[in-house]
Chains A and B, each alone.
Chain A
Amino acid sequence: MNDNGTTQHGVSVQVRGIRRSYGEQEVLKGIDLEVRPGEIFVIMGASGSGKSVLLRHIIGLEAPDAGEILVNGESVHSSDVASKYRMALVFQSGALLNSLTVGENVGLYLSEHRLKSPDEIRKIVLDKLEVVGLKGTEDKLPTELSGGMRKRAAIARALVIEPELILYDEPTSELDPVSSVVIGDEIYQLNKRIGVTSLVVSHDRDLAFGIADRIAVMHEGEIIALGAPDEVKRSQHPVIRKFIHADFKRQPKA
């Protein structure tokens, strides 16, 4: 899907035998996976299974105890990967800079790296904010936004980078169903438009099965299933069955 005339190509990501412990607790117990260029890869898993920690390793914020992460075949920790490939992480918490306005946050990458003139940046910022449904918030401070709005602003900030690899940490966890669909759609459209490799962490089943090319399920620091959405759905692994079919047990009133 990376050679169908898109203007940009996504990068591949290889995660090989990643292990990471915090003190006594081993959070990642040997993760292996490969994300192909231009695909949407979704990682599902229970809270606390180590998904956010894995993303932090993939983008190079943290170094594993063992194993390696390769972006297009080069280690993320080699010094030139960060400048060679554009990568973005949408943090679970948003992680907007609280001292800047929403607009300044969204345009930060362009303004700090002086990639565009202030007028152009303003135009791009307004455009991206509109995409995520935050028109008119550019002069507000992040603290004046709701949790879900902050998350969407963080997505806008990542879109501005026009990355070759984009990591989303629970992009829809704080959104209402309608906004979730809008964001899910945008993740899908962006992927199709510029062929960006997208790695989405989510426990939103609808989102996962709606947009994923492939899905991995993580459980207590290990990958317990990996494959196309249908394969994962058919998996007989008890944890996966529970995860996919979990529902409220309330009986309808007689």
Chain B
Amino acid sequence: MFQNIGEIALLFWSTIRALPLVWRQRAKVLEEFHEIGNASLLMVAVLSFFLGGVIALQTGPVLAERGLHSAIGGLVGISMAKELAPIMMSILIAGRIGSAFAAEIGSMRVYQEIDALRTMNINIVNYLVMPRLVAITIALPMLVTFAILVGWLGGATVAQVTTQIDVPFESFFENMKNIVGIGEVMHGVFKSWCFAWIIGVVSCHQGLTTRGGPRGIGRSVTKAVVNSIVLIVLFDYVLTRLLLH
């Protein structure tokens, strides 16, 4: 486990050092970027709409009962922006894209494609890891921004149509504006950017260290997703703590 952390840190570092070559690999970055968007945009939209909606549904009636209608918008807004969108979307992407990274690289490892690249003196980090990492660290923050907006929309819609809450659309956003600003959104987007690095590095590392046949690929995929999620949740606490001031 500790050796893994060392290797992961090393991979992270070599990826950073490979970044100047990103322009050369732009075609692959774009391809991965496309893949991530295609694979998750709809899921992200549906998931975040209902996330926002359910927060409104859970908290709305309680607050409304006590006459705190004006707090509902802010509550939904802040929980979506600072916590729910970044963490839920990152977990979703870990499952959808982290698994794909580990599977693709893992099968290249098992079928000796990586060995073939090495004999051709082609750098594995530049060729396989860096483009994926660049793609996911751009795509995830964008998806999270989108998720925050859709989540708010979901919350506002539910607040309007639920009779026990009965907060009109406009006043929901009016109230939200008092509490949630660009800083709150940036907080969430920044965290998701950090999570994107975690997903990318952990999954690529897992792919590269795949052993055994097709079974090994399966094991790598599971490990990549589980380890990413565990690290995301841990880092979420740490980052939130650090960003408190």
Contacts and interface: CB of A to CB of B under 8 A. Distances in A.
Interface in B102-140: 104, 107-108, 111-113, 115-122, 127
A41 to B, nearest CB: 18
A161 B127 CA distance: 18
B199 to A, nearest CB: 21
B142 to A, nearest CB: 25
Contacts of A98: 107-108, 111, 113
Given A82-B121, A83-B121, A112 B127 contact: yes
Contact of A87 (B107, B115, B119, B122): B119
A151 to B, nearest CB: 13
A95 B113 contact: yes
A108 B122 contact: yes
A230 B178 CA distance: 93
A95 B115 contact: yes
A112 B122 contact: yes
Contact of B120 (A56, A93, A99, A108): A108
A97 B107 CA distance: 10
A61 interface: yes
B229 to A, nearest CB: 27
Nearest to B104: A99
Interface string A83-108: 10001110101011111000000001
Given A82-B121, A83-B121, A61 B115 contact: yes
A91 B127 contact: no
Contacts of B108: 97-98
A97 B127 CA distance: 12
A59 interface: yes
Contacts of B112: 91, 93, 95
B113 A61 contact: no
Contacts of B116: 89, 91, 95-97
Interface size class of A (residues with CB under 8 A): 20 to 34
A161 B118 CA distance: 13
Interface in A96-131: 96-99, 108-109, 112-113
A97 B109 CA distance: 11
B111 A161 contact: no
Given A97-B108, A97-B113, A59 B119 contact: yes
Nearest to B112: A95
Interface residues of B, number: 15
A161 B113 contact: no
B127 A88 contact: no
A60 to B, nearest CB: 8
A91 B112 CA distance: 8
A95 B122 CA distance: 14
Contacts of B118: 61
B23 to A, nearest CB: 12
B221 to A, nearest CB: 17
B213 to A, nearest CB: 12
Interface in B143-182: none
Interface string A133-167: 00000000000000000000000000001000000
Contacts of B121: 82-83, 113
Contacts of A113: 121-122
A58 B127 CA distance: 24
A161 B121 CA distance: 11
B113 A96 contact: yes
A99 to B, nearest CB: 8
A88 B116 CA distance: 9
Nearest to B119: A89
A96 B118 CA distance: 13
Interface in A5-45: none
Interface string A178-200: 00000000000000000000000
Given A88-B119, A109-B122, A112-B127, 20 more contacts: A56-B115, A61-B115, A61-B119, A82-B121, A83-B121, A87-B119, A91-B112, A91-B115, A91-B116, A95-B112, A95-B115, A96-B113, A96-B116, A98-B107, A98-B111, A98-B113, A108-B120, A108-B122, A112-B122, A113-B122
Interface of B: 104, 107-108, 111-113, 115-122, 127
22 contacts: A61-B115, A61-B118, A61-B119, A82-B121, A83-B121, A87-B119, A88-B120, A91-B112, A91-B115, A93-B112, A95-B111, A95-B113, A96-B113, A97-B108, A97-B113, A98-B108, A98-B113, A109-B122, A112-B122, A112-B127, A113-B121, A161-B120
